[in-house]
C-alpha cells in the first residue's frame, strides 16, 4: 500500500480549529450523522486551509503544455494541538482554466509530466490534482490510536483523515479561481488511495466519479464486527490451524493478512479497543453506525441517483478486500472487475483478460460518453449431474464481446487466511459461448466429485473508442459460491 513520500508535512500549531466543528463532541458509541462525521461546511471553507506556496504557478512544456503549482495546506488536526498538513499539486492547461479535474495520490514538488490519459485530459481542458495519502508516522499514529481506543472517535482513524485530505484538496483546487472552474471531479487510486476515493465519493457531492483498486467496498458482516460472523471465522481458523498442526507437527503459525483480515476499513481495531475497556457490542455498534459513510455497497442507489459513476478492482485474493463472497451475494450491483488471483502482491493468472479499465473510465467520464462501459451482468448456475451450468446475462444493447469463466473448489471463507491462500489453479478457466437465442453467455464446468462447494465468476470485455483511440474494458459477473451435494 504505497504512496509518494512527502517531507515536512506535519507542523505543530496551537489548538487550531478541528474541522468537524468546535462544538462537536467525541462520538463514543452514540450515533453519527454526516455533518458530524465530515462537517462539509468546514471541509469546504478555503479560509481554514492556511495555504503555504511551495512552487507558484509556472509554465511546464511538453506535448500537453500546462501551468502548475505546489502548495501545502491544513487538512485538520491529527489530534488536539497537532495540525496535519499535506502538499497539493495542481496542473491546468497552459492557455485556459481547467473545468473539473482528476484527483489522485503521488504528490511531488517536481513538475508533473503529462503522459497517457493525463495528457488526454489536459488537452481536453480537464485539470489534474495530486496530494498525499499514506499512514501517519509513529509520533502521530500512537497518540491517535490511544485517543481512538479510549473514545471510539473515528476522527482518529485513517478512514477519516484520508478522505478529509482528498476533500480539502478539492477545496484547495477550487480556491484557485483563476485556474479552475467547477466541473466533474473524478478521484482514483490503488490501495489506500482507492479506499480514500471510495469514501470521498460517498461523502462529498462535489465528486462525480471514483475508481479504486484493492480497497474495501463491502459492508460485510465480518467488517461490521457481527459477533456470530466473527465466531464462525474464529472457529474455522482454529480448525484449520489444528489440521495443519496435525499434518506438519508444527504449531499454529500467524495467519496471513497483516492484521487487516476482519478489520473495518483498515487493520483490525478489536485487540486495542478491547484492551482499552470497550466491549464487542460497542465495536459492533460503532461499525454499524459508520458503515453508510464508508462502504460503496451501502450507497449504490444514492450514488446512482446523484449521477455518480464508479468502478472497482477489489482483487480476488486481497488482504484488504477480503469479502468477495459476501459482495457477490449481497452487493451484485457494485461494478467490479476481478482479475483471477489478483490482489496486493499477486501476479494473477495468465488467462486473465486484457483490460485498460482505469484509462477508459477516466477518459469516458470526462470526454467520452458515446459508448457506455459495461454494467454488472446477472449470473445463474445449475448443477446437472457432474456438470455446473453457468449463464451470464447482460442488459440489452451492452455490446460485450467476450466471456471467460474462472472457478475454484473448496476455497476458504471470507476473511480467513485460507481465503488468501487457496489460489485459483492455472487450468481453471474456460471461454464461454454466446447463446444468441437466450441472449446470454453460457458454459459448462466439470465438477470435482469430492468438492463441497465451487466458487465461480466470469469476465467480459468491451472496446470503447474515445477520441479516435480504442480502449479494452472489462467487467465481472458477481462472485458466486455454489454448494454441491456434499453440503459445503
Distance (Å, whole) CA 35 – CA 24: 10
If asked whether residues 175 and 63 sit together in one domain, one would say yes
Closest by CA to 310, choosing from 319, 321, 299, is 299
* Residue 54, helix vs strand vs coil: strand
Q: Is residue 27 part of a domain?
A: no
If asked whether residues 197 and 338 sit together in one domain, one would say no
Q: Is residue 94 part of a domain?
A: yes
CA torsion 90-91-93-99 (nearest 10°) is -50
If asked whether residues 458 and 374 sit together in one domain, one would say yes
**DSSP element (H, E) containing 361:** helix 357-366
* Residue 379, helix vs strand vs coil: strand
If asked whether residues 43 and 162 sit together in one domain, one would say yes
If asked whether residues 199 and 255 sit together in one domain, one would say no
From the centroid of its chain, how far is CA 298? Answer: 14
If asked whether residues 157 and 276 sit together in one domain, one would say no
Vertex 465: Cα angle to 459 and 468 (nearest 5): 150
The residue whose grid cell reads 445449475 is: 382
Q: Is residue 213 part of a domain?
A: no
- Examine the fold and report which residue of 153, 174, 206 is the final residue of a domain before the chain moves on: 206
34 close to 49: Cβ distance less than 8 angstroms: no
If asked whether residues 197 and 232 sit together in one domain, one would say no
Q: What CATH number does residue 460 fall under?
A: 2.60.40.10
Number of domains comprising the chain: 2
If asked whether residues 438 and 320 sit together in one domain, one would say yes
pLDDT tens sequence for the chain (488 residues): 333 334 333 333 333 333 333 223 333 333 454 556 899 999 999 999 999 999 999 999 999 999 999 999 999 999 999 999 999 999 999 999 999 999 999 999 999 999 999 999 999 999 999 999 999 988 899 999 999 999 999 999 999 999 999 999 999 999 999 999 999 999 999 999 999 999 999 999 999 999 999 999 999 999 999 989 989 988 998 888 888 777 776 655 555 666 888 899 998 888 899 999 999 999 999 999 999 999 999 999 999 999 999 999 999 999 999 999 999 999 999 999 999 999 999 999 999 999 999 999 999 999 987 789 999 999 999 999 999 999 999 999 999 999 999 999 999 999 998 999 999 999 999 999 999 888 999 999 999 999 999 999 999 999 999 999 999 999 999 999 999 976 44
- Residue range(s) defining the domain that contains residue 201: 34-206
Q: Is residue 217 part of a domain?
A: no
If asked whether residues 106 and 238 sit together in one domain, one would say no
If asked whether residues 314 and 189 sit together in one domain, one would say no
Q: Is residue 488 part of a domain?
A: no
- Examine the fold and report which residue of 206, 235, 250 is the final residue of a domain before the chain moves on: 206
Q: Is residue 477 part of a domain?
A: yes
If asked whether residues 241 and 111 sit together in one domain, one would say no
Q: Is residue 133 part of a domain?
A: yes
Instruction: Check: pTM over 0.95? Answer yes or no.
Output: no
Q: Is residue 17 part of a domain?
A: no
If asked whether residues 73 and 127 sit together in one domain, one would say yes
Amino acid at each position: 500500500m504505497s504512496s509518494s513520500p512527502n517531507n515536512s508535512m506535519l507542523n505543530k500549531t496551537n489548538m487550531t480549529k478541528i474541522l468537524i466543528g468546535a462544538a462537536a463532541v467525541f462520538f463514543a458509541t452514540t450515533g453519527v450523522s454526516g455533518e458530524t462525521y465530515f462537517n462539509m461546511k468546514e471541509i469546504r471553507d478555503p479560509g481554514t486551509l492556511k495555504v503555504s506556496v511551495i512552487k507558484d504557478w509556472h509554465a511546464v512544456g511538453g506535448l500537453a503544455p500546462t501551468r502548475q503549482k505546489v502548495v501545502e495546506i491544513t487538512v485538520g488536526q491529527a489530534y488536539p494541538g497537532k495540525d496535519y498538513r499535506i502538499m497539493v499539486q495542481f496542473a491546468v492547461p497552459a492557455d485556459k482554466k481547467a473545468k473539473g479535474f482528476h484527483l489522485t495520490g503521488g504528490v511531488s514538488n517536481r513538475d508533473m509530466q503529462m503522459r497517457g490519459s493525463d495528457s488526454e485530459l489536459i488537452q481536453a481542458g480537464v485539470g489534474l490534482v495530486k496530494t498525499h495519502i499514506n499512514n501517519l508516522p509513529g509520533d502521530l499514529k500512537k497518540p491517535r490510536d490511544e485517543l481512538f481506543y479510549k473514545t471510539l472517535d473515528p476522527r482518529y482513524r485513517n478512514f477519516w483523515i484520508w478522505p478529509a485530505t482528498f476533500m480539502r484538496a478539492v477545496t484547495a483546487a477550487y480556491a484557485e479561481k483563476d485556474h479552475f472552474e467547477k466541473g466533474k471531479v473524478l478521484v482514483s487510486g490503488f490501495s489506500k488511495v482507492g479506499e480514500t476515493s471510495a469514501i470521498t465519493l460517498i461523502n462529498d457531492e462535489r465528486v462525480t466519479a471514483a475508481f479504486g483498486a484493492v480497497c474495501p467496498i463491502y459492508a460485510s458482516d465480518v467488517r461490521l464486527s457481527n459477533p456470530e460472523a466473527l465466531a464462525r471465522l474464529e472457529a474455522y481458523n482454529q480448525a484449520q490451524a489444528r489440521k495443519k498442526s496435525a499434518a506438519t507437527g508444527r504449531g499454529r503459525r500467524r495467519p496471513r493478512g497483516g492484521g487487516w483480515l476482519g478489520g473495518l476499513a483498515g487493520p483490525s481495531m478489536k485487540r486495542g479497543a478491547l484492551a482499552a475497556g470497550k466491549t464487542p457490542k460497542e465495536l459492533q455498534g460503532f461499525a454499524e453506525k459508520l458503515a453508510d459513510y464508508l462502504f460503496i455497497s451501502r450507497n449504490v442507489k444514492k450514488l446512482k441517483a446523484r449521477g455518480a459513476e464508479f468502478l472497482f478492482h477489489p482483487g480476488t485474493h486481497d488482504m484488504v478486500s477480503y469479502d468477495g463472497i459476501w459482495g457477490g451475494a449481497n452487493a451484485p450491483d457494485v461494478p467490479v472487475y476481478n482479475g483471477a488471483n489478483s490482489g496486493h502482491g499477486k501476479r494473477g493468472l495468465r488467462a486473465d483478460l486484457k483490460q485498460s479499465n482505469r484509462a477508459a473510465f477516466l477518459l469516458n467520464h470526462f470526454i467520452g460518453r458515446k459508448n457506455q462501459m459495461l454494467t454488472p451482468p446477472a449470473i445463474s448456475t445449475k448443477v446437472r449431474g457432474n456438470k455446473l451450468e453457468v449463464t451470464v446475462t447482460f442488459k440489452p444493447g451492452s455490446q460485450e464481446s467476450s466471456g471467460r469463466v474462472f472457478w475454484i473448489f473448496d476455497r476458504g471463507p471470507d476473511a480467513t487466511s485460507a481465503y488468501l491462500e487457496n489460489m485459483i489453479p492455472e487450468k481453471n478457466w474456460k471461454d464461454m459461448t454466446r447463446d444468441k437465442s437466450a441472449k446470454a453467455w453460457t458454459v459448462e464446468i466439470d465438477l470435482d466429485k469430492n468438492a463441497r462447494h465451487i466458487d465461480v465468476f466470469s469476465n467480459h470485455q468491451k472496446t470503447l473508442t474515445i477520441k479516435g483511440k480504442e480502449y479494452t474494458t472489462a467487467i465481472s459477473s458477481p462472485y458466486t459460491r455454489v454448494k454441491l451435494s456434499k453440503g459445503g
